Amino acid sequence: MLLKSRALAYEEIKIDDEAERIDFYEKCGPSVRQMPQIFINDQRVGGLAGLQAALAQLNP
């Protein structure tokens, strides 16, 4: 909803099976085991708090 409220484009990727989940967690790193995970330009910013911090840097 945060991205929609700011009219920012995004792609939602749903992970439906165990192999996809394992591949995704490998991409994120060993400390990540929860969803959602947000990426900006292929760089992981984390969950909601990370997204809010990234948006605050864009629009101080």
- Which pLDDT tens digit goes with each residue over 43-59? 889 899 999 999 998 87
C-alpha gyration radius of the chain: 13
Count each helix (H run) and each strand (E run) in the chain, helices first. 3, 2
Domain that holds residue 16: 2-58
pLDDT tens per residue across span 36-45: 889 998 888 9
Using CA atoms, how far apart are residues 35 and 7, in angstroms rounded to an integer? 22
Which domain CATH number covers 18? 3.40.30.10
Q: How confident is the model at residue 60 (pLDDT cuts 50, 70, 90)?
A: low
Using CA atoms, how far apart are residues 52 and 49, in angstroms rounded to an integer? 5
Q: How many domains does one find in the chain? A: 1
